[in-house]
Amino acid sequence: MKTRAELVAAEDVLFFVNAAVTSTGQREFRADADEQRMSLDFLHAYVLGNYRELYAAALALHINDHNAAMIVQRLLGTAGEASAGQRAVEGRLIARRLELMPPQRVYRLFGRLRAAQVNNRRTRAVIRDWLAARPDPAFDAVKYRSGYRTAARHAHLGADGELGAFLFRPRSRARFEHPLLDTYRRARYEQAAVYRLPFTVAEGFAARHGIPRQVFLDRIAPRLTRLERLRLQESAREAEASQVAADLSAMPLTRLASYVLALPLDDRVRRRAELTAALRAAARRAAGAQAATWGRTVAVLDDSFSAAGSAHKRRRPLAVALAAHHLLQALAPHYRALWTSGRTDELLLHPYGPTPLGTRILDALDLAPDRLVIVSDGWDNAPPGLAGEVLRAWRERLDPDARVTVVHLNPVYDADAFDVHRLSPAVPTAGIRDAEDLPALVELAQFATGRTGLTELRAHLDARVARFLQEDR
């Protein structure tokens, strides 16, 4: 039998994981940025102080990069409080997580470590090892010049050699032997050199030289990354730059869903076949070996007005729901989607209307599924509280043996509750940021029912850490 202390500890850790998956400290539909940051800072301090090993283990979960960076910074800043065994595991987790993070985020993290004066031997070793493992230091020195310079200084790295001269004494040499470093030097006065630089660097030089936007985009197009093409596609069309076209077939599922929802409805109708094919292909890639392995599945998906998100997370909740819809189609051969608005054409979705979750859940259960997945911020209001009552009555009276698996995935962090908003204590709830993580989060949600103790949760996290650390071998 689980003790009260065990259940509370498991609940504390799950609160933190939900927050680390969903919150980025930015404004949400119902909470401003200050509320988000204060709530998140409290959770990080609380879990680090009480469950350090589990706090570090969160790096192996599907948390977002914002919270991963916060965890790394706090672990390095409190290295003196950890035992030798804890430091060894934390070091491997930190190194592996930094490998997976976008380099610009890692450089920002190093900048925050310097600003916070976290400069112990362990921190310097982490920075040195990460920089040494970078595949092209010269490329980083050009694209992330300020961040690279800050990291090198903080880790007490030498400023010798050509790279050191480029970072700290750029005008001390008439030319550089490395082609990219010399291209950067020549781009100050030679327009042709601009187009051989990474886009984010070239853009600044193009503005300095007064190059027309259309000309610049057409000529820099071959050097654009996949995500840069996606981000620039609409602005390139406005600038009449014909060479910038994104290959949607290779885009990650949730990012692709965000792109689709940002398009005007007329464009979505005109490009229906292309966009639908791209979403389905991305969903099949995300499903991987689990494709077509789930039983009869019904999803209740929230496209109400609150799915509009905020200025910082525009349409993010709706994008997660749309991506989850396509992923569930790939996972379950027998699948049905019920949108809160009643719409049936998912390509033309837009945030609108109230959130009648209770009614839609009743409709879903009436279809006798093996699994019900609810993707919503959980604020049902038509009428308020009906969803929770439906789920309670279903679980207590009609399905006490839990023949139907029900899970609620919430893409929005509730700063006041230090958790994502839950529909019912009878139904597990987990935070979700990217739909690609849906299968793993459904597995994790089993611990959110209030019946599982810390021992089982710790075993689950230990297994996830072991798999995470083995992935790079």
In this predicted model, which residue has the larger pLDDT, 342 or 473? 342
The winner for highest mean pLDDT among 128-137, 244-253, 378-387 is: 128-137
pTM assigned to the model:
0.85
Give yes or no for a contact between 444 and 17, defined as CB atoms under 8 angstroms apart. yes
Which residues does 102 contact at the CB level (< 8 Å), separation at least 6?
65
CA separation for the pair 205, 195 (Å, rounded): 10
Exposed / middle / buried, residue 236 (Cβ in 10 Å: 0-12, 13-18, 19+): buried
381 plus 329 within the same structural domain: yes
Q: What is the pLDDT of residue 25?
A: 75
Residue 58 lies in a domain: no
> What's the rounded mean pLDDT across residues 444-460?
70
CA separation for the pair 380, 348 (Å, rounded): 22
CA separation for the pair 316, 322 (Å, rounded): 10
Q: What is the pLDDT of residue 296?
A: 96
> What's the rounded mean pLDDT across residues 114-118?
95
Residue 374 β-bridge partners: 300, 408
Question: Residue 199 is part of which domain span?
Answer: 194-246
242 plus 281 within the same structural domain: no
CA separation for the pair 67, 410 (Å, rounded): 17
Average pLDDT score, the chain: 88
Alpha helices in 210-356 (DSSP H): 213-220, 226-238, 253-262, 265-270, 272-287, 316-331
Residue 136 lies in a domain: no
Give yes or no for a contact between 338 and 373, defined as CB atoms under 8 angstroms apart. no
The strand order across the sheet containing 405-410 reads: 335-339, 297-301, 371-375, 405-410, 429-431
* DSSP states along 221-237: GGG--HHHHHHHHHHHH
Residue 444 lies in a domain: yes
Q: What is the pLDDT of residue 62?
A: 86
286 plus 228 within the same structural domain: no
Residue 271 lies in a domain: yes
pLDDT band at 1 (very low <50, low <70, confident <90, very high): very low
Where is average pLDDT lowest: 96-110, 119-133, 148-162? 148-162
320 plus 390 within the same structural domain: yes
Give yes or no for a contact between 423 and 387, defined as CB atoms under 8 angstroms apart. yes
234 plus 295 within the same structural domain: no
> What's the rounded mean pLDDT across residues 81-89?
92
Which residues does 443 contact at the CB level (< 8 Å), separation at least 6?
none
DSSP state of 448: G
Q: What percentage of the chain has pLDDT greater than the value 90?
A: 55
Q: What is the pLDDT of residue 246?
A: 66
CA separation for the pair 116, 230 (Å, rounded): 35
374 plus 413 within the same structural domain: yes
CA separation for the pair 424, 410 (Å, rounded): 13
Helices 386-393 & 357-365, crossing angle to 10 degrees?
30
Alpha-carbon Rg for the chain in angstroms: 24
> What's the rounded mean pLDDT across residues 80-108?
94
Q: What is the pLDDT of residue 243?
A: 55
Q: What is the pLDDT of residue 204?
A: 92
337 plus 442 within the same structural domain: yes
pLDDT per residue as tens digits for the range 32-67: 778 888 989 999 999 999 999 999 999 998 899 999
CA separation for the pair 302, 288 (Å, rounded): 25
What b-and-e string marks burial along 154-189, b requiring 16 or more CB atoms within 10 Å of the CB? bbebeeeeebbbbbeeeeeeeebebebbbbbbbbee
Give yes or no for a contact between 283 and 256, defined as CB atoms under 8 angstroms apart. no
Backbone phi and psi for residue 380, each to the nearest 5 degrees, phi listed first: -70, 135
CATH number at residue 276: 3.40.50
* DSSP states along 412-442: SEETTTTEEPPS-TTS-EEE-S-GGGHHHHH
376 plus 427 within the same structural domain: yes
Q: What is the pLDDT of residue 7?
A: 67
Residue 67 lies in a domain: no
Q: What is the pLDDT of residue 308?
A: 85
Q: How many domains does the chain have?
A: 2
pLDDT per residue as tens digits for the range 372-412: 999 998 888 878 889 999 999 988 888 888 888 899 999 98
> What's the rounded mean pLDDT across residues 268-281?
94
239 plus 325 within the same structural domain: no
Residue 364 lies in a domain: yes
Q: What is the pLDDT of residue 35?
A: 84
Structure tokens given for 50? 């009480």
Residue 355 lies in a domain: yes
Domain boundary among 224, 246, 268: 246
Question: 3-class SS at 461?
Answer: helix
Where is average pLDDT lowest: 166-175, 222-231, 443-452? 443-452
Give yes or no for a contact between 455 and 79, defined as CB atoms under 8 angstroms apart. no
Backbone phi and psi for residue 150, each to the nearest 5 degrees, phi listed first: -60, -45
277 plus 415 within the same structural domain: yes
pLDDT per residue as tens digits for the range 174-199: 888 999 999 999 999 999 999 999 99
Domain boundary among 225, 246, 267: 246
334 plus 383 within the same structural domain: yes
Q: What is the pLDDT of residue 236?
A: 55
288 plus 336 within the same structural domain: yes
CA separation for the pair 210, 95 (Å, rounded): 42
Residue 274 lies in a domain: yes
